[in-house]
Structure 1
Amino acid sequence: MSDVHNTVEQYIAVWNETDAERRKALIAELFTPEATYTDPLGAVRGHDGIDGFIAGAQAQFAGLSFRLPAAPDAHHDLARFQWYLSAPGVTEPVAIGFDVVELDGGRITKVHGFLDRVPG
């Protein structure tokens, strides 16, 4: 479980990394080359697709960051976890989501994202 928790922590770190080159390096470490990301706002494949999707979210929500409100729940090669998006130092999140990741050898192969609360 600690390995999965570390993987999910790295996943959140990728979403918070604003340096484009560093984010691309983190994506290459964490995701398999053909990994997919799907949520209600889009569906992308591969490192470049994931990077572009994250960069777009960062532009839309500049100054906000993601955090885990609780430890992930995992079994087999699956993990699920809730995330919060908020301004630094603010406890009330602007957005709340729930992701399920599929893993292979500790790397993410698929992300299935759900949005529980989005900004007005």
Structure 2
Amino acid sequence: MSSVEKMIDQYILAWNQTGLESYSLEFEKCWGSNALYSDQYSEHTGVQGIADFADQSLKFAPDRKFSVLEIPECHHTYGRYAWKVETGGKTNVGYDYFEFNAEFKITKLISFFTLPDDYPIEKLG
């Protein structure tokens, strides 16, 4: 990676994959080996952790499509951006705070969003 915008674009591209192998390959390009993902529902560490999480969550939203809503703002090695996901004819918006290293790989990402009432939260993990 050569910029924060490319790193976040790659992260979103990774979420739009299907299948564990594709998730792993695409997250590897932008995700640090010990990076932490955290939201109000779960936490996951490393490339395999985020790939497993993405693969598992796809079961509940198989037609989802993520995109960047607001380009990243950053200083030093910290940043934030807004995203949206469209699935089942509905749109949801979220905000991510992230930290990254000199290779433009995410080392920590904290996500803020609200799930629909009918989403099976207990099955995430």
TM norm. shorter chain > 0.5: yes
How many pairs does the alignment contain?
A: 115
Matches within 5 A, 1:22-101: 22-87=22-87, 93=91, 95-101=92-98
Gaps of 5+ in 2: 118-125
Please state how far the C-alpha of 1:20 moved relative to its aligned partner.
2.5
* Shift >6 Å, 4+ stretches: none
Please state how far the C-alpha of 1:3 moved relative to its aligned partner.
1.0
Gaps of 5+ in 1: none
Please state how far the C-alpha of 1:30 moved relative to its aligned partner.
1.2
SS in 1 for 2:3: helix
Superposition TM-score, scaled by structure 2 size: 0.83
CA distance in structure 2 between the partners assigned to 1:19 and 1:69 by the alignment: 25
SS in 1 for 2:107: strand
CA distance in structure 2 between the partners assigned to 1:87 and 1:60 by the alignment: 10
Q: Which has the higher helix share?
A: 1
CA distance in structure 2 between the partners assigned to 1:79 and 1:31 by the alignment: 15
Superposition TM-score, scaled by structure 1 size: 0.86
Does structure 2 retain, via aligned residues, the 8 Å contact 1:7–1:30? Answer: yes
RMSD, matched Cα: 1.8
Please state how far the C-alpha of 1:23 moved relative to its aligned partner.
1.8
Q: Tell me the percent identity.
A: 26
SS in 2 for 1:54: helix
Question: Match of 2:110, as an amino acid?
Answer: H
Does structure 2 retain, via aligned residues, the 8 Å contact 1:64–1:87? Answer: yes
CA distance in structure 2 between the partners assigned to 1:56 and 1:21 by the alignment: 13
